[in-house]
Structures are given as structure tokens and as C-alpha cells.
Structure 1
Amino acid sequence: MTAKFDTSPCPTPAWLPGGHLQTLYGALAARYHRIAFVRERVDTPDGDFLDFDWTGPGLFSDRLANGQAAKPDTRLARTAARRWMQDDDWAGTPSDAGTNALVMFHGLEGSSHSHYAQAIAQHFRARGWIVVIAHFRGCSGFPNRMARAYYSGDSADIDFILRTVRQRVPDARWHAVGVSMGGNAMLKYIGEQATELSWLAACAAVSVPLDLVACGTCLSESWLGKKLYSRYFLKTMKIKMQEKAKRFPGNIDVLRINLARSLREFDDLYTAPMHGYKNALDYWTRASSKPHLKTIAIPTLLLNARNDPFIPEPSLPGSQDCSSSVLLHQPAEGGHVGFVTSPFPGHIGWLPMRLARFFEMGT
């Protein structure tokens, strides 16, 4: 059995042509509803921590469980969270078997502030879902405790995140969404686990670089990939490395990292050696999720626009590359996590509606 295909288009407006414009406008200018979260910090088994941003029925960022107004925590001022979770917050959160819940894995240098995270969280919360955005290490607005960070094949952290959210609301009907890099890590993990994740109702992956070699090469060698997109990501990544180098002298070659001009150079110098890989090529090859698509046993939507400037179209999977549990949706337009629709100035509401259709109808 092979994957099914959805051939329906994303109705991208004529005034926004091409994958580059759709990507940039979606991230920088398209409209979406904004939402504030309640944050929980969870210690990891290796002595680090992850921050989880929650929203849902009965959980409010501006008031406590007893109804009293909650002052915003100044430590969270630069995040999308407004206050910290308290023990009695869970009492008012629905937890019966009819409750739908969604955990999201963000993309490279993303967070609950990201446009797609905000749009998806608001859409599903309005439908009565519990939503939690799990931040990878160092992405929540706070530096993590270790010299290591996060990477696109970190199955151990995906496992920890899924176990944690299930422990918090064990009877809910859980779903998962992974976006871009987070989608690759999620897909790799659920492919590795095969039938061991039957408690997950469904998963969806959006604009995922399934073949990291092809996508990393594109971002590192194409003109716009190197001059625009890589430069954007490297700006915040280098700032984090400078901070880490002060706390972990001798572990990070910050001088060479500051000279990196592509994701390949950065991954060669830091991501690969810090996380057990020989170099960027070894990391990209072994961390790619594409080889694991055939063993996915959970109903899973793979949504990739064919004009995504991060992802060469020939690297996208075909039906023969996936199990019968996978639905491939590869519209011609949409860019990288853009999917802008409607008359000017447009909005990004099509993406959460597409995810909701899959989760609720399986199509």
C-alpha cells in the first residue's frame, strides 16, 4: 500500500506570485489572530529544561484559576507567554475522553511567537481544543542550561515532549503538528516508533525539509538561500552561540562560527559535532525523515507547497515513498509556511483550516 494524494490547490491570490514572496509575506505581513499563553517549565532527564506554552478552555493567560486577575510576568515580556502555570490551573482544564488536544513542534529558530504557531493555536483553541507549543532547547526566550542545543533529528526530545503532554492530559484525544524543522524531527520519530504511538489520533507536518541534504544544500548554495534565508536564521543562532561560548569556554569555536555564512558551515562547526555527528553531511543524511515515511502507522498529513524556496521540488516524496497511513498534499503554491489567501492584505487562515479538516475528517 502507498500514500494517498490530495491534489486540491491552496488558493493563493494573484497579487502574491511566487514562492519567495509567499514565504516572506506570510511571515512578515499577512494577518492572523494573536494569542497569549500560560507557560510551564519542565526539567529534562539530562538536567536541562523545556518550556511548554499552553492554551485552551478554562485556561486563561490574564487570570488565575480562582478568577483573580493575573499580572503579566516581566520575565516573559519578550515571549508569547504572559504568566507561569500554577498547580491549580489544571483543575479547570477539560481532561475527559472527548477533549481534543494538539501539541506543536515549531521550526528552526521558531517559537510560540511565530506567525504559524499563533494562527494554528488560536484556530484550534477557538474550536475548544487544548493547544500546547513545545519549545526546543534555547528557543523559548531563555538560554538552555547545556552547551548542546536542538537539532532536526532529536528523537529523544520529541519522545520526552510527547510523554510530558500526555501525562498532563492523559485522557485527551491527542494530535501533533510539526512545522518545517520540527516537522522533520516529528516525522522521523513517529516513523521510528511505528505502531508504538497508537495513542496519537493523527499527525500533520507542514513545509517539512524531509530530505535535509537537498534542502540544506539549497539554503547553503542558492543565492537567495545564502544571502537572505540563511542570513536570517544565522543572525539569532550566532547570538545564542556567543552566549553559550561565555558559559562553556572551550566547547564552542565562536570565532569560526561568527564567520559562518551558510547553514552548512554552521552545522559543520556546531550542530553536527555537538550532537554526535561527523559533519553537516553526516547530520543531514542521518537526521532526514524521508527514509522513515514508509513505517509511519499513524494517520499523517504531509503538506508541502511545490514552490517552497527552501525545499527543491524533486526532493518531495511520492506515494511510493510513504506508507498507506500518509496523505500527501502538495499544492503548486504556498511557499514555505506561507499559504496566504484572500484579497489584499490577505491572511494565513487557510493553513489551520486545512489541518482541522484532516484531523476531523481524515481528508
Structure 2
Amino acid sequence: MPLLDDSHYIRPKWLFNRHLETIYPSLFRKVTVPSPIHERIITIDGDFLDLDWYKQKQSKLVIISHGLEGNSSRSYMLGMANSFIKSGYDVLTWNFRSCSSEMNKQVIFYHSGATYDLDLVVMHAYDSYEEINLVGFSLGGNLTLKYLGEKGNNLSKIHRGVAISVPLHLGSSSKKISETENTLYSKRFLRTLKKKVIDKSASHPGQIPVETLRNIKTLADFDDFFTGPLHGFADAEEYYEVNSSLYFLDQIKVPTLILNAQNDPFLSEKCFPSALGKKLDLVYFEFPKHGGHVGFSPANSEKPYYSEQRAVEFISAVI
């Protein structure tokens, strides 16, 4: 306990493998939400974060964090926002550094453990709400869990957390996404990440070893040459070990749900720590057989996605 072994998710018959479950919603899902209020806040190092607010004058807020190379306008972000808007919450979605419509100013980008930016977002909203809940997808899920573990009981208004399709162990998940069957995904991520490095080097000449891009073949290579060193880590290995949320779960002090599909093509075996789930009192693990990566599509397109349904249920429930 709390290991939830009675997940009720059933994938649509036409999404008959993990890759279809992952790709279909990413390419074809359309979500209509109210127009957000855009806000830019300044970081302590003179950079900026772009926020999207969906305000309904509610006392409860949900802050949603996106995944690798995502942004606040992705369909999974809008779908989750829409479900909470309909459930009577204010919603705040935000863009990691370099992920909004404008490149960030500092030489650093974002990474899986950059909780200082999530903390800035939380504290920016903190005094305006009686209750704050955190939801994160994939990389944003890792960020959310690490943040909850770091903060412990220090933020009394943090009510609950939900992490979806989260690579709890970054190192082994990086190897998983670089397997041959996942070439389509890894190449897509690398293409946009490499472009950001090239764009960034133009505004920060001499600070980024852009010439090493020719040696980058995998996401682990990118993290070894760029993500790790740019953010103060010796290499990819240190970056992964320091920031893997798996090591912060036992420090989380608010009820938190982790929803990882067993057939997620991005997640390693270490992202399904069933034995740990039986030891933790506040972290709930739900591992449906199907769902893909940030998938969980419903059979009826008019219905909310299973991840959205579970997030609303969990955050709204009396535990």
C-alpha cells in the first residue's frame, strides 16, 4: 500500500500497440480551451518564464508542467487544463526555458531536475490560493516529483501531486528511448534540441561547444555534452543520478499519484518500483497494462483521457 493494482484503463481496439497509443493523440488530438491570460515572470538570474493562466476566481489552483521539448499549448497540456477547468479549478500551465515562442536569455536551457524554475512558478501563485496542486507529464513529471520530495512539509498549501508517464530513473530510461524501436522518437527530440543549441550559440558565442554536435547520436550523448555540463553536472551520468525522482519519492509528504503504463516505450523497468510502492504511505503507484507514453486515449473521443480523469479524481478525492 499504496500500490494500485486495479487500474480500469482499457485502450481503444484500433490503438493496438504502444507506438500507436503514443503517436495518435500527439498527432491527431484537438482540444478547445478558453483563451488563456499570458504572463511573463522574471527569474532570479534575469531570464524569463512564460505562463498561461486559466482563471475562474477559484480558491484552488492546478499547475501543469509539460514534457521534453513540449510547451503549454500541446494537446495533452490543454486536455488536462480543460478537465480541471470543468472541475472548478483555476489552472496555470507554464513553459520551461527555451520552450515558449521566444528563446530564453541565459546560456542554460531547462532540464529534468530544474526545480528552481518550478519553485518560482509555485511561489508566484502561492499567496493567491488556498490550495495548490501539481501535475506533470514525462520530464515534467520527474520535475514535479523531485520538487515535492525536496519541499517535504515546507509548503503547507501544496495539496496533492500527479505525475504521468514519468521516467523515475533517468539513466535507464535514456537508454530505453535510444533503443532501435524508438528511433522515431529519439531522432525527433534530437532534431529540435540540436537546433536550440545552434540558435543559442549565436547569442552566446564561445560558451557552447556547437562543434561537438556532429558527435551526438543519442539523447544520452546530448545530455553528456550539453545538458549535464551546461547545468553544472560533470556528465550525463551525474546529471541522471542527481535528478532522478525515484530517489526523492520517500521524502514526499503530500498524497501523490504516479500513473505509468506498463507498455510505455520510453520507460525502463526501474520506472515501475512496485516493491517501493508497498512501503510508501503517500505515493500511489498505478501501472495500467496499456496507455503508451502520454497516451491513455479513450474509446469515445468526446470523453476525457484516462490520465485526465485519474488526475481530477485523485486531486479532488478525500483520501
Which TM class, normalised by the smaller chain length?
A: over 0.9
Q: In 2, are the aligned partners of 1:197 and 1:298 still within 8 Å (CA)?
A: no
Q: In 1, are the aligned partners of 2:168 and 2:270 still within 8 Å (CA)?
A: no
Q: 1:166 aligns with which of 121, 126, 130?
A: 126
Q: 1:107 matched to which residue of 2?
A: 67
AA at the equivalent of 2:255? P
| Structure 1 residues 112-261: aligned runs within 5 Å | 112-167=72-127, 169=128, 171-220=129-178, 222-225=179-182, 227-257=183-213, 259-261=215-217
Q: 1:74 matched to which residue of 2?
A: none
- Name the % identity: 35
Q: In 1, are the aligned partners of 2:70 and 2:99 still within 8 Å (CA)?
A: yes
Q: 1:9 matched to which residue of 2?
A: 8
Structure 1 counterpart SS, 2:121: helix
Q: In 2, are the aligned partners of 1:106 and 1:135 still within 8 Å (CA)?
A: yes
AA at the equivalent of 2:267? I
Structure 1 counterpart SS, 2:242: helix
Q: 1:332 aligns with which of 260, 271, 289?
A: 289
Task: Report the Cα distance in structure 2 between the residues aligned to 1:211 and 1:112, rounded to whole angstroms.
Answer: 24
Deviation for aligned residue 1:332: 0.4
Q: In 1, are the aligned partners of 2:72 and 2:93 still within 8 Å (CA)?
A: yes
Structure 2 counterpart SS, 1:9: coil
Q: 2:263 aligns with which of 285, 307, 325?
A: 307
AA at the equivalent of 2:15? L
Task: Report the Cα distance in structure 2 between the residues aligned to 1:114 and 1:219, rounded to whole angstroms.
Answer: 21
Deviation for aligned residue 1:346: 7.8
Structure 2 counterpart SS, 1:205: strand
List per-residue Cα deviations over 1:5-36 (Å, max 9, x = no partner).
24223121121112111001121124543453
List per-residue Cα deviations over 1:179-211 (Å, max 9, x = no partner).
100110111121122211231111100100000
Q: In 2, are the aligned partners of 1:211 and 1:288 still within 8 Å (CA)?
A: yes
Alignment RMSD = 1.8
AA at the equivalent of 1:342? A
Mark the CA change 1:230 to 1:209 in structure 2 (over 3 Å): closer, same or farther: same
What 5-or-longer segments of structure 2 have no aligned partner? none
Task: Report the Cα distance in structure 2 between the residues aligned to 1:247 and 1:122, rounded to whole angstroms.
Answer: 37
Deviation for aligned residue 1:350: 2.4
Q: In 1, are the aligned partners of 2:261 and 2:293 still within 8 Å (CA)?
A: yes
AA at the equivalent of 2:283? V
Structure 1 counterpart SS, 2:284: strand
Q: Does 1:39 align with 2:27?
A: no
Structure 2 counterpart SS, 1:147: coil
Task: Report the Cα distance in structure 2 between the residues aligned to 1:346 and 1:311, rounded to whole angstroms.
Answer: 29
Deviation for aligned residue 1:314: 4.6
Deviation for aligned residue 1:240: 1.2
Deviation for aligned residue 1:45: 0.7
Task: Report the Cα distance in structure 1 between the residues aligned to 2:31 and 2:318, rounded to whole angstroms.
Answer: 25
Deviation for aligned residue 1:301: 0.6
Per the normalisation by structure 1, the TM-score is: 0.83
Task: Report the Cα distance in structure 1 between the residues aligned to 2:239 and 2:52, rounded to whole angstroms.
Answer: 29
Q: In 2, are the aligned partners of 1:230 and 1:262 still within 8 Å (CA)?
A: yes
Q: In 2, are the aligned partners of 1:206 and 1:303 still within 8 Å (CA)?
A: yes
Task: Report the Cα distance in structure 2 between the residues aligned to 1:362 and 1:356, rounded to whole angstroms.
Answer: 12
Task: Report the Cα distance in structure 2 between the residues aligned to 1:313 and 1:34, rounded to whole angstroms.
Answer: 36
Structure 2 counterpart SS, 1:50: strand
Q: 2:239 matched to which residue of 1?
A: 283
AA at the equivalent of 1:55? Y
List per-residue Cα deviations over 1:308-343 (Å, max 9, x = no partner).
000023531225256211111110000000001115
Q: 2:20 matched to which residue of 1?
A: 21
Mark the CA change 1:28 to 1:194 in structure 2 (over 3 Å): closer, same or farther: same
Task: Report the Cα distance in structure 1 between the residues aligned to 2:34 and 2:173, rounded to whole angstroms.
Answer: 31
Q: In 2, are the aligned partners of 1:5 and 1:327 still within 8 Å (CA)?
A: yes
Q: 1:318 aligns with which of 274, 285, 293?
A: 274
Deviation for aligned residue 1:258: 5.0
Per the normalisation by structure 2, the TM-score is: 0.94
Structure 1 counterpart SS, 2:248: helix
User: Number of paired residues?
Assistant: 318
Task: Report the Cα distance in structure 2 between the residues aligned to 1:258 and 1:49, rounded to whole angstroms.
Answer: 30
Task: Report the Cα distance in structure 2 between the residues aligned to 1:266 and 1:133, rounded to whole angstroms.
Answer: 27
List per-residue Cα deviations over 1:162-181 (Å, max 9, x = no partner).
111214x2x33211101100
Larger Cα-atom Rg = 1
Structure 2 counterpart SS, 1:14: coil
Structure 1 counterpart SS, 2:134: strand
Deviation for aligned residue 1:265: 0.9
